[in-house]
Amino acid sequence: MRLSFALAFFGVLTGILESQPQKPKAFTISSGEDNLISLNPNYLVFSSFKKPEANFPLLIYLHGSGGGFAPLERIGGQARALLSGIEKFGKRPCYVVVPQCFQKTKSGTKSTWEPQDLNLLLDDLLEKFPIDSKRVYLTGNSMGGYGCWAWGGHSPERLAAVAPVVGGIGHGGPKDVSPDVKEWAKNLAKVPVYAFAGGKDRVVPAERSERMISQIRKAGGKDAKIKIYPEAGHNARQLVYASKEFYDWMFSHSRTTLKSSK
């Protein structure tokens, strides 16, 4: 009787502990910091394991424009939905990394996600952690969605799958359209892309994602698709990151090779 009670209590305790929110650890890019344009050299890493016995996949989340003002730890809170989804839909173990794009560049101009910065970040991650380089996944919201288009359009060989959410397609903000869209599309045609948008989004119209997917398909991309939530606005990420479809699609992809940008 006592043994049964003890085992039951242990089971409940284990469940409570496992359900506690993961606490991220902060790390700093070890080399190349002087070459960063907009990126905070410090970043957060969430992991649900202490001593990995194998290489695990990596999911990088890029925040929206408001994240440049916030403390790094607060931005980590935006990844909670992803952590919950990874747990709920059985995609553990997995590293989740949250970098920060400062509001201003070193020269004082308005900043956004830069492929050069993100390549340096990924180089640092691959050096520090036992990551499966064939399973590096990218998602981001709003300006972070722009970062997905830009980085994937610049360095598709580094990523296994890209999922921009309500992402803009211009360096200057929601109303801007980059002159590099067609060039991005040629590169994004080489990697699986699933874009998500809100049909009632008045900040970044769904047309931006539709235009990008159309260009990727014209460039020969056979694994480029889009989902528009007709009643959602700019907060569509709440629906995306709560859906089983997102995680099943993302984690089903793997690259055969991944080259370093060095």
Domains of the chain and CATH, by start: 38-251 (3.40.50.1820)
Q: Residue 173 above 90 pLDDT?
A: no
Q: How many residues does the chain have?
A: 262
Q: Per-residue pLDDT averaged across 53-64, rounded? A: 92
92: left (phi over 0), alpha (psi -120 to 50) or beta: beta
Q: From CA 32, how far away is CA 9, in angstroms rounded?
A: 50
Q: Residue 81 above 80 pLDDT?
A: yes
Strand partners, 144: none
Kindly report the number of other CB atoms within 10 A of residue 49's CB atom. 12
Q: Residue 161 above 50 pLDDT?
A: yes
Confidence of residue 65 (pLDDT cuts 50, 70, 90): confident
